[in-house]
Structure 1
Amino acid sequence: MAQNKFEQSLASGAHQKLQSLVGSWSGITKTWFEKDVLVDECLSTAKISSILGGRFIVYDYESSLEGKPLEGKMIIGFDIPYQKFTFSWIDSFHMGTQIMHAKGEVTEKGFSILGAYGNPEYGDQLFGWRTELEIINDEKIIFSAYNIMPGEEETKAIEAVYKRL
C-alpha cells in the first residue's frame, strides 16, 4: 500500500527529523542584547515531546536571565504543502503576552525560521526574530536566535547548546 505524504515524511523526511529530537536535554544558554556583548550564561533544560501522532513537537525549556527564572514553549512542525518549517512560540521573557508565529526553510542540519514581533509604543515597524536549529548529532543540538532591528543587520541574541540526557 502506498504511503501518504505525511507517512513518508514521518518515515524518512522532515517529520522524522523532528521526531528524532524527542527526549530530555540539558545545556548552557547564552544571551546577548547588543552585538558581541554577552549579558548572561546559565544552565538550561529542555524537554521535547511529540504530539498529534508525530505531526508536531513541543519544545519546553527552562532557563534564567541574570538570575531570574524564565520558561518557554514552542510548537514546531513541518508544513508539507508549502515545504516550510513552522512554529508558534511563547515565553515568560522575550514574548511577554504575545505569541510569535514563524516559518522558514530546511537547512542542511535543521531549519532557519523567521518571525516578527513589535509593540505599538515603539512605532509601527516590526523587529525580525530568526531561529535556527542545528542538529549536530543524535546527542547534541543547538538552538540559536537572532534579533533583526528594522534597517539593521541581524545580531545573535540567544544560543542554547543542549546535550541529550
Structure 2
Amino acid sequence: MHKAAGKLLVIVALAPLATLAPAQTGDQPHQMTPAQKAEMEAYMKAGTPGAPHQALASAAGSYDLKVRSWHDPAGPAMEDAGTATRTMTLDGRVLVEDVSSSMMGSPFTGHGMMGYDNVTGKYWSTWNDTMSTGLMVSEGTCDPQGKTCTFTGGWNDPVKKTRVKARMTTRWTSPTTEIFDMYGPGKDGKEMKMMEITYTKK
C-alpha cells in the first residue's frame, strides 16, 4: 500500500509536466512556457536538501539516554536509562531515530523520523513506540543559532478518546549534549513537564 501511494504521489506531481516530453513522431521537444519552468523549479526546490537537512545530519550517531518522567508535577521523577541510534535516510532528507529503553519497569522501544519541509519552512517529526499503536505528529521551528527547537503536536488519549496537545523543546548545552523536554496537560488541565531526556553522544 505504501509503494502504491508513493507512486501515485509521483504521478500526480509530475503529470502537469508530462507534455514536456519529446514527441514520439520525431518532432523537436516542446519548449517550456514560463509557467511550466516555474512549476518545475518549484518542485526541484521543494525536493532538494539544504542547510536544515545538513543540520539534521549532524545529529546522526549513537547516544546514551537519561530519561526522567512525571505523572504528578509535585511528585518525584521516574528515572530510566536507554540508548538511541540516529541515521540519515532518503539521500540526506530524513533523520531516523531508534530508541531502546525501559518504561515503568517494562522494555521500551521507539521509532521516530524528523525532516524539514522546504515548502512550509518548518521541521516535522513523527513518533511510534511500544506503548501505543498510534502515531504522534508534530511540527516546529528552531532559532537562527540552532540552539533551541520548539515543536507542537499531540496524540490520542486512550481513556478520554480525545486529542492531547503537547509542546516539545530541544536545547543543545554542548556539541555532544542535548536535552529534550515534553510538556502536556496535567490532571488539572494546566501544562506540566511530563518528560525530560538527556542525550549524550558517544
TM superposition score category, shorter chain reference: 0.7 to 0.9
Of residues 66, 86, 91 in structure 1, which corresponds to 2:124?
A: 86
Aligned to 1:97: 133
Contact (CA 8 Å) 2:72, 2:186: kept in 1 or not?
Answer: no
Contact 1:46 1:61 in 2 (8 A): yes
The one-letter amino acid of 1:53's match is D
Render the CA deviation track for 1:3-42: whole Å, top value 9, x for unaligned: 9576572xxx221211110000003110111214234111
Give the secondary structure class of the aligned counterpart of 1:132.
strand
Find the counterpart in structure 1 of residue 20 from structure 2: none
Give the SS at the match of 2:91.
Answer: helix
User: Which amino acid is the alignment partner of residue 156 of structure 2?
Assistant: G
Q: Deviations over 1:95-117 (max 9, x none)?
A: x1101111112235142111122
CA distance, structure 1, for counterparts of residue 76 and residue 97 of structure 2:
24
- The reply to whether residue 114 of structure 1 matches residue 152 of structure 2 is yes
* Correspondence 1:135 to 2:175: no
The structure carrying a bigger strand percent of its residues is 1
In structure 1, the partner of 2:22 is none
Residue 14 of structure 1 aligns with which residue? 52
2:81 maps to which of 40, 43, 50: 43
Asked if the contact 2:134/2:156 (under 8 Å) is kept, the reply is: no
Distance 2:156 2:98 in 1: 23
Distance in 1 between the 2:103 and 2:158 partners?
A: 25
Please give the secondary structure, in 1, of the residue aligned with 2:124: strand
Larger Rg belongs to: 2
Unpaired runs of at least 5, structure 2: 1-43
Same amino acid, percent of matched pairs: 25
Tell me, what secondary structure is at the counterpart of 2:54? helix
Q: CA deviation at 1:149?
A: 5.3
More helix by share: 2
**TM-fit CA distance, 1:58:** 0.7
Give the whole-Å Cα distance in 2 for the aligned partners of 1:138 and 1:4: 30
- CA pair 152-30 structure 1, distance change in 2 beyond 3 A: same
**Superposed structure 1 runs of 4+ greater than 6 Å apart:** none
Query: By how many angstroms is 1:67 displaced?
Result: 2.1
Structure ranking higher on relative contact order (CA contacts 8 Å, 6+ apart): 1
Name the count of aligned residue pairs: 157
Aligned to 1:60: 98
User: How far apart are residue 150 of structure 1 and its match?
Assistant: 9.4
